[in-house]
Structures are given as structure tokens and as C-alpha cells.
């Protein structure tokens, strides 16, 4: 997804990369975040805040993550063209768009979202990208497209759901927040090992699905 927006947003996006993402050392992640227009993935009344240093509400009690946290998670996955990725907790679709940028050409992103209204909005925003948005309970992952080279999880649980680890390729990487709201930490799983990437705060990993609103 290439930005073709107002020059004001382009400047804000470049400032976000320069000022908020200085700790990210992955040039491909920085380039993707400089290219994908974050303002398209927030409600209209929040577009002026799209490049602020924080999470923003996107409706249905969910949020779009803080840019620096998104960059940290993407860099940890070490994505490359041609990879197959599972995105758990698609939300607005912003991270799925970034994932698509990082695995193109030849890659694919399967984005799971439990709230039907959010899934449909994300599906519309992501048209034309190699992203399949699926309304589903993500605790079971999406075995139809497994194994995955990378799994990105944007919701916190006490432990990683076993189905997600089972659907990870042998040399694949999974990044996910774990712990209660006040003590969450971001963890990277790779080759049977895990490492902590620091403290975070995410919405909880909730089972089940939410049907479309009337």
C-alpha cells in the first residue's frame, strides 16, 4: 500500500519514523511504516492523531497499537519477501498492511479478527493487497494455510495458545504479549527458545467471535 495522501500526512508520517521509531534498526520496517498511511486505519474523528505517540481507539473496544510497539514486533519477526504470515487480532488492518508490505512480492498474510464489524472494515481497507481477512476465533489459529513463517499476535494472554505454536514453521518466529494487564511483556518465540522484548499493554486475547451489528 503506497501513500498518496495530503502532504501534511506525509510529513507527519516521516516525523513519526524519525522521532518515534529511532530504536528500530530494521530499515525495511522503517520503510514500510513510512509508506503505509496510518491515518486510513483510524476513525475519521481520530485522523488528526494518527501519528501521535500512543494507541488509538478504533471502535468495538479495540485499539490500534502505538507505532513504536508495532515496529518492535515487526522487526522481531525478521520478515522477508515470500513469507507466509498469520496476523492474530487484525483490528483496523494497519499491521496487516505493514506485514503485506514486508512479505511482498510473493508472500501472503492471513489476518484473523473475532469482531465481524472490524473484520469487514479491514477487508475493505486492504483490498488489492495479499491479505486474506478472516472472521474467526483466533485461539485455533488458521490451520488451512499453515505452517506460517511468522505469527504476529496483537492481544495478550497468560500463555501462547497451543494451536498457534503448532502452526508455526520449524524455523518460524512468533511474537505475542503475555501476562495480566498491569504486567504484560512482549515475548518472541523462535526455534524452541523464547526471549523477552520488554513491557507492553495490549487488549486481552478473548475467545469466541462477535457477529455483525444490526
Q: Which domains does the chain have, with CATH numbers?
A: 53-199 (3.40.50.150)
Instruction: Let me know if 43 is exposed, middle or buried by CB neighbors in 10 A (0-12, 13-18, 19+).
Output: middle
Residue range 42-60: mean pLDDT, rounded: 94
Residue range 28-42: mean pLDDT, rounded: 97
| The predicted structure's pLDDT at residue 2 | 55
Residue % of the chain over a pLDDT of 70: 97
pLDDT digits (tens, 9 = 90+) for 7-23: 999 999 999 999 999 99
| Annotated active-site residue in 22, 52, 65, 213 | 65
Q: Residue 59: which pLDDT band, with cuts at 50, 70 and 90?
A: very high
Q: Which residue has cell 483510524? A: 42
| The predicted structure's pLDDT at residue 181 | 86
Q: Are strands 193-199 and 185-190 parallel, antiparallel or unpaired?
A: antiparallel
Distance CA 147, CA 196 (A): 24
104 in active site = no
- Please state the φ and ψ torsions of residue 111, each to the nearest 5 degrees: -110, 120
Q: Are 81 and 103 in contact (CB under 8 A)?
A: yes
Number of alpha helices (DSSP H) and beta strands (DSSP E) in the chain: 6, 9
pLDDT digits (tens, 9 = 90+) for 137-185: 999 999 999 999 999 999 999 999 999 999 999 999 999 999 998 899 9
Distance CA 196, CA 74 (A): 15
Q: Which residue has cell 502532504? A: 7
| The predicted structure's pLDDT at residue 159 | 96
| The predicted structure's pLDDT at residue 6 | 82
Q: Residue 1: which pLDDT band, with cuts at 50, 70 and 90?
A: low
Residue range 46-64: mean pLDDT, rounded: 94
Amino acid at each position: 500500500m503506497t501513500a498518496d495522501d495530503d502532504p501534511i500526512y506525509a510529513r507527519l508520517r516521516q516525523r513519526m519514523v524519525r522521532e518515534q521509531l529511532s530504536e528500530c534498526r530494521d530499515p525495511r520496517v522503517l520503510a514500510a511504516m513510512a509508506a503505509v498511511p496510518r491515518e486510513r486505519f483510524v476513525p475519521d474523528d481520530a485522523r488528526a492523531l494518527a501519528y501521535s505517540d500512543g494507541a488509538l481507539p478504533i471502535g468495538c473496544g479495540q485499539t490500534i497499537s502505538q507505532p513504536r510497539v508495532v515496529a518492535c514486533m515487526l522487526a522481531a519477526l525478521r520478515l522477508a519477501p515470500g513469507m507466509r504470515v498469520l496476523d492474530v487480532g487484525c483490528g483496523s488492518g494497519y499491521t496487516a498492511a505493514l506485514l503485506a508490505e514486508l512479505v511482498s512480492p510473493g508472500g501472503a498474510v492471513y489476518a484473523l479478527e473475532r469482531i465481524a464489524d472490524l473484520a469487514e472494515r479491514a477487508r475493505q481497507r486492504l483490498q488489492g493487497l495479499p491479505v486474506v481477512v478472516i472472521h474467526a476465533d483466533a485461539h485455533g489459529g488458521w490451520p488451512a494455510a499453515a505452517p506460517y513463517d511468522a505469527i504476529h499476535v496483537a492481544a495478550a494472554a497468560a500463555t501462547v495458545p497451543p494451536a498457534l505454536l503448532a502452526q508455526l514453521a520449524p524455523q518460524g518466529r512468533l511474537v505475542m504479549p503475555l501476562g495480566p494487564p498491569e504486567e504484560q511483556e512482549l515475548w518472541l518465540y523462535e526455534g524452541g527458545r523464547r526471549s523477552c522484548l520488554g513491557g507492553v499493554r495490549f487488549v486481552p486475547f478473548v475467545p469466541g467471535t462477535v457477529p455483525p451489528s444490526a
